[in-house]
Amino acid sequence: MKSLYTPRLARVKSIVAETRDVRTLRLALEDAADPFDFTPGQFVELSVPRAGEATFCIASCPGDEGVLECSVKRVGAVTEAIHMLDPESLVGIRGPYGNGFPMDTLKGKDLLFVGGGIGLAPLRGLIREVLRSRDDYGGLAILYGARTAADRVYKDELDAWQGREDVRTVLTVDPGGELPDWKGRVGYVPDVLREMAPKPDDSVAVVCGPPIMIRLTLAAFDELGFDPERVLTSLELKMKCGVGQCGRCNVGPLYVCKDGPVFTCAQIKEFMEDIL
């Protein structure tokens, strides 16, 4: 087993253009004999030679043997370099880092996943893992929103989830973001959540998206009577170095990269204004 601080070489096997500025890379480690064990919700440092490295959540699940997937939104120099990669390019991977989602705690519970934009990425691996062992969980609902219909990621997978009888999938776009053929909801995620009115009894909610969406969605769950210990969120967008050295994700006593990126609403309530 190599050190978590030593990059491992991985080859880009395929690239999916999710939106105009989001690409999903399917990666295979060059040293396949050394397993890459991780929990949904953990993240990696992805590096491109001569460009640098950045943190990205793992968008696949442990059951996807032999491959890792990371979805990358183009926002700066490193992500621009990643978007310029071609299939068969080599990159470096360090990790996995972070705590991941508490899988044992989720078993037997009704689960509600709430994602916004690229924030569906860390939820995707967890949803996949839950669906692989569907009988271990109660009711399953997915609420996903994007600014526009064109900004949705994982469109084929969203369609597949909508086609399942054992999953309630609700899709929404912001007002003005619908297309003529749009058949989903129109409204902001927190408002649609209130209309769905999920019951807090024996339920766990998992939220990830833009900071303002997370903040307003957590407030909506509070109004709906959810126990803050049973509302989870991933704050992976706040990270940079991934190992607690740069200080970018330090808020109060917490380092998002070392203590998270998965937190309960109860854990971050006191620092909500600084984090989100």
Where is the domain boundary, 43, 78, 97?
A: 97
Residue 238: predicted pLDDT = 66
72 occurs within a structural domain: yes
Residue 42: predicted pLDDT = 96
1 occurs within a structural domain: no
- In the chain, the number of structural domains is 2
Residues 253 and 119 in one domain: yes
Residues 90 and 130 in one domain: no
The Cβ of residue 185 has, within 10 Å, a number of other Cβ atoms equal to 18
Residue 270: predicted pLDDT = 78
Q: What is the pTM of this model?
A: 0.93
Which parts of the chain sit beneath pLDDT 50? 1
pLDDT tens string 24-57: 999 999 987 788 899 999 999 999 999 999 999 9
Residues 209 and 92 in one domain: no
Residue whose pair of structure tokens reads 């050190």 in the numeric block: 3
Residue 93 phi/psi, 5° resolution? Answer: -130, 130
Residue 243: predicted pLDDT = 72
CA distance 261 to 276: 13
Q: Could you tell me the residue range of the domain that residue 224 belongs to? A: 103-275
Residues 6+ apart with CB under 8 A from 92: 7, 8, 9, 10, 45, 46, 47, 48, 49, 53
Residue 3: predicted pLDDT = 67
Residues 24 and 88 in one domain: yes
Residues 6+ apart with CB under 8 A from 155: 18
3 occurs within a structural domain: no
Where is the domain boundary, 97, 131, 162?
A: 97
Token digits for 43? 């993240």
